[in-house]
């Protein structure tokens, strides 16, 4: 029996997609997102440097590697099972937590759906990639 291990190329693709998809998502919802936070365009342009982007890359790397590692233990062996498992992980572990945190912070449910929704999408697509693109030793 072949031993499955985490495919680092698949993880890298997931990390890149984990940066591109949120950029597109937040571009599409930028006006609503800024209004719900009370931010102005000037505040957004001022920004806060590269730190959030670096944190996002590190966080997405941890997420993709961990999901890939979990998939070797379950084992997940197809695009569909990876996609559905990633969808489940994103919904249960990120989206639900984002909604609850938003409720305790008295923020709009719409904001929770914007912030949590992209996580579900990234987890599902990453799960599909990791489920399809396996590595064996």
Q: pLDDT digits over 41-86, tens only?
A: 888 888 778 999 999 999 999 999 999 999 999 989 899 999 999 9
* Region of 106 on the Ramachandran plot (φ > 0 left; ψ -120 to 50 alpha; else beta): left
Helix, coil or strand: residue 108: coil
Mean pLDDT value across residues 123-129: 98
């Amino acid at each position: 029996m072949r031993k499955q291990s985490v495919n680092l190329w698949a993880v890298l693709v997931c990390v890149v997609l984990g940066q591109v998809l949120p950029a597109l998502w937040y571009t599409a919802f930028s006006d609503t997102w800024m209004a719900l936070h009370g931010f102005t365009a000037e505040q957004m342009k001022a920004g806060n440097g590269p730190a959030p982007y670096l944190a996002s890359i590190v966080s997405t790397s941890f997420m993709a590697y961990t999901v890939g590692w979990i998939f070797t233990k379950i084992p997940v062996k197809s695009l569909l099972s990876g996609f559905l498992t990633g969808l489940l992980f994103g919904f249960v572990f990120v989206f639900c937590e984002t909604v609850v945190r938003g409720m305790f912070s008295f923020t709009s449910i719409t904001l929770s759906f914007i912030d949590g929704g992209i996580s579900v999408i990234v987890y599902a697509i990453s799960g599909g990639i990791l489920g399809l693109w396996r590595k064996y030793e």
